Amino acid sequence: MDVQADEVAELQRRGAVQLVDVREDHEWDAGRIPGARHLGLSELSAQAGSIARDTPVVFVCRVGGRSTMAAHAFRRAGYDAYSLDGGMLAWAARGLPLDPPDGTVADH
């Protein structure tokens, strides 16, 4: 159910996946994956209907704990849902792009 950062980047480049970042506002503001959508974990269930069911969704957090919980819940609800393995730390470690370009991965 976890997807590696390089694979997520390729899927995103092809437009074959939607990325949903479930981190807190300050984490999102520090640095995020370009093109990702921000829906904090606390608002996720209320906004579930706004996430397309016909496109796989990859949830993103700092290290993978929160995104794994989100992916499990959405899989149970019938979504094709995954978690970014290693989270934003893995994404940044692979040298993949951040928004803003000088962005960082914030602490929890």
Task: Give catalytic status of residue 87 as yes or no.
Answer: no
- Residue 105 CA to residue 63 CA, distance in Å, equals 10
- Residue 29 CA to residue 48 CA, distance in Å, equals 22
- Residue 1 CA to residue 92 CA, distance in Å, equals 20
Of 22, 61, 81, 84, the catalytic one is 61
Active site residues: 61
